[in-house]
Amino acid sequence: NQVLVLNGPNLNLLGKREPEHYGAQTLSQIMAGLEAQAATLGLSLEHFQSNSEASLIDKVHQAMETVDFIIINPAALTHTSVALRDALLGVDIPFIEVHLSNVYARESFRHHSYFSDKAVGVLSGFGADGYEFALTAAARHLAFAAE
Ligand code: DQA
């Protein structure tokens, strides 16, 4: 099975950016760990980060024929992007929403997500481990769907 991991704006700055919220690991370190985990789960993993909403939407469209599951941290687009939500609904690929920080413990504008009501599930507040938990959940979801 093919899993696509999408990361939205500013997540390229992980490691440097507000470490009290987002931790010390860089995005490439987190994704390297996830690649290793995917290999043990027998999943093939692709990772894409962009600061551009349009590029993320294009990537979701390209996933239509090939990708079985999406793990997405839409970052600030979580709270703003009807367009990225519609892209995910348009391709009809199941997805898990991940946030490093606990968005509910932060500013109220972070409490609303355009994705959560359509996600298989949401992980928020577990730092980089959230991606790992999401990949485990994705593997279970795909195995269950295949039964
Ligand atoms: C985030 C939370 C968002 O509110 C924020 O805009 C981000 C990162 C997180 O991973 O905790 O950029 O998605």
Given a cut of 90, whether residue 146 has pLDDT beyond it is no
Cα(3)–Cα(76) distance, rounded to whole angstroms? Answer: 22
Given a cut of 90, whether residue 147 has pLDDT beyond it is no
Given a cut of 90, whether residue 128 has pLDDT beyond it is yes
Domain coordinates of the chain in residue numbers? 2-146
pTM: 0.97
109-122 confidence digits (pLDDT tens): 999 999 999 999 99
SS3 20: helix
CA atoms within 13 A on the CB side of 70: 32
Cα(63)–Cα(66) distance, rounded to whole angstroms? Answer: 5
61-109 confidence digits (pLDDT tens): 999 999 999 999 999 999 999 999 999 999 999 999 999 999 999 999 9
Kindly give the distance from the C-alpha atom of residue 147 to the centroid of ligand 1, in angstroms, as a whole number: 35
Contacts of residue 40, Cβ cutoff 8 Å, sequence gap at least 6: none
For the chain, the average pLDDT equals 97
Is 101 annotated to bind a ligand? Reply is: yes
User: Mean pLDDT across the stretch 3-7?
Assistant: 98
- For residue 22, the ligand 1 atom closest to its alpha carbon is 11
Q: Which of 39, 105, 49 is CA-nearest to residue 72? A: 49
ipTM comes to: 0.99
User: Mean pLDDT across the stretch 47-61?
Assistant: 98
Ligand 1 within 6 A of CB of 78:
yes
**Band of the pLDDT at 145, cuts 50, 70, 90?**
confident
31-51 confidence digits (pLDDT tens): 999 999 999 999 999 999 999
Catalytic residues: 22, 99
User: Mean pLDDT across the stretch 2-10?
Assistant: 98
Q: Which fold is adopted by the domain 2-146?
A: Rossmann fold (3.40.50)
Q: Which amino acid is at 24?
A: A
